[in-house]
Amino acid sequence: MNLKFWKKTKKNSKRGYDAASKSKRLKSWFASGRSANGETSIALPLLRDRSRDLRRNNSYAAKAISILSSNIVGAGIKTQFTEPGFTDTDGPVEAQWKQWANSTDCDYDGQHDLDSLQGLIIEAVAESGEVLVRKRFNSAMNIPLQYQVLESDFLAIHKTGLAPEDGNTIIQGIEFDKQGRRVAYWLYDRHPGGQDKHGLFSQVEAKRITADEIYHIYRMDRPGQARGVPWGAPAMIRIKDLDDFADATVMRQKVAACFTAFVREINPELSEKPDQDCELMERLEPALIEELPFGKTIEFPNLPTPENYKEFTSTELHSVAAGFGVTYESLTGDFSDTNFSAGRMGWIEFSRNVKKWQKQIMILKFLKPVVKDFKDTLTIMGVNTSNASERFVPPRREMIDPTKEVPAIIEGIRAGITNLSDEIMAQGKDPNEHLSQYKKDMEQLDKLELTLDSDARKTAKNGRSQDSSNQGGTSSETQD
C-alpha cells in the first residue's frame, strides 16, 4: 500500500477503535510497544521480589498460590508405564520407576520424592514466574539420575548481548543459536541474594551450562517470551491496596475504641471557681458509679463503623481471584452468595485452566523430559525400554454433587461417550492398578463366599440378585 495513501486514509477516517483514540479520557493511558523480553528485562526482578513479599505477608496471595499448587499438582501427577507382555503393573520399567520416583533418590537435595518435587516446582512458577530444574548424576545411587530445583534468581538476567565465541544471542541469561534454539543457560554459581560464611552477600559469577542439563519451566504468555512472569502480577496492586485499606480500617477502629467517654463543661464560668474540685475518674469500669463535679457532664461518642466494607473487599477480591486464575470462593472460602449451579459453573471453568496448566507446564515441560531421561538412563544400565509407553494421571478433581455426577458418569460409559479407564484416571487413579486391585477384591469375596450389594456381578441396583431380577421382571424393572 502506498504510504501517502495510507496517511491520507488514516487522517480522513471517521470510524475506528475507540480504545486507540487519544482523547482526554485516555491521554493518561500509556501502553508500551516493547517485546515480551523487553518488558521482562525491566520489570521481572521487581515483580518477582514483590510477589514473594506478598506471599510472605498477605494471606490471600499465599492462599492463591496454595490453591494453584493443590489443584494443578495436588499429591502429584502420576506416571504409569505400559509394557507389552505385562498385563499387570509389574513390568521392569514400571518397577524401576516406582522405586526411583517414590523415594528421595530422585532429588539432588535428598528432601523430596518426585511428587513433592512437582509441588515445589509449580509453587515457584506461580510465585516467581519461573523455575530452573538442573539434571544431575550421582553414581552412588542405584539409578544415578537426580534433579536439582533452583530459583530463577540463578539465571543471570542482566547478561544480554552476543556470545563472544560463536556470535550466539544471549537474552536475559539464555543463549540462543542463529536458528533461535536454546543452546545454553548462564547460571550464577550461587544465589545472588545469599550470604557467605562472613554474613556478607555472595559475590557471584555466571557460568555457561548447556541447555540439555536445564529444564526452564514457566508459563509462556506471549510468543518469543524467554522468561516467566509471576502469575499474580495483574493483581499485585489490588492486593497491596486492599491490605493497606484493611490495616487502616482496623487502626481506625482501634483508635476510636480508645475513646469511651468525654467530659465537658456545662457552663465554663462555673468551672473556673477556685474551690471547685475537678478530680475525675480516668477510666470506666464495670458497675462503676461516679459523681461528677458541679458544672460537668459526660458524653459517649458514636464510634465510626466501616461503611460497605464487605461489599468493597468482596469486589476487590473478585479481581484478585481473576488475576491469579482461581475462583473467588476457593480464594476466600465465602460461599454465602453461591448456589449449586453457580458454584459448579465456576468449578468447571477453573478445571479447564487446571487441565491446561497441567499439560502445558507440568507434563510437557517437566514430566515428559524426566521420563525420557529415566528411560535413557535405564537403557544405559541394560534395561530394554523401547516398548515401554507412559501415560500421566493427574490428581482427582473432587465432585460437587456425587449423587448427581456419578450416575451421569455411568450413563456416559454405557452410552459410549466415555470409557472406564478415562473415568478411573479422572479420579486420580491408575486404571491398571485399580482394575487389578478390583479383580483381587472380587476373587477374595468369592473365596470367602460373600455377596455384597456393591457386587454388580451378582446384585442388581435394586438389591436383588441378578438371577432373580432377570427372571422376575422386565429390563426396565431390573434397572430400577
Predicted pLDDT of residue 172: 93
DSSP string, 194-252: -B-TTSSBPP--EEEEEGGGEEEEE---STT--S---TTGGGHHHHHHHHHHHHHHHHH
Which of the 8 DSSP states describes residue 185? E
- What does each C-alpha distance from 281 to 182, 270, 418 come to in angstroms? 77, 20, 79
Length, in residues, of the chain: 480
Which of the 8 DSSP states describes residue 293? P
Contact between residue 60 and residue 351 where contact means Cβ atoms under 8 Å apart: no
User: 58 is written with which cell numbers?
Assistant: 498477605
Predicted pLDDT of residue 279: 60
Predicted pLDDT of residue 152: 94
- What does each C-alpha distance from 455 to 398, 442, 461, 466, 470 come to in angstroms? 24, 8, 10, 10, 16
Q: pLDDT by residue (tens digit) across 466-477? A: 666 555 544 444
CA 131 to chain centre: 14
Q: pLDDT by residue (tens digit) across 237-251? A: 999 998 888 888 887
Q: What is the average pLDDT value for the chain, to the nearest integer? A: 83
**In this structure, which amino acid lies at residue 222?**
R
Predicted pLDDT of residue 480: 42
Please tell me the pTM assigned to this model: 0.78
Q: What is the mean pLDDT of each run of 10 residues along the chain (480 residues)?
A: 58 67 81 87 92 94 94 91 73 90 94 95 96 94 94 92 86 92 93 74 84 95 93 93 85 70 63 53 59 65 71 88 91 81 82 93 96 94 88 83 81 86 80 82 84 76 63 46
Q: Which one, of 245, 248, 238, lies nearest residue 316 by Cα?
A: 238
Separation between Cα atoms, residue 152 and residue 44, nearest integer Å: 10
What residue ranges do the domains of the chain occupy? Answer: 36-232, 260-300
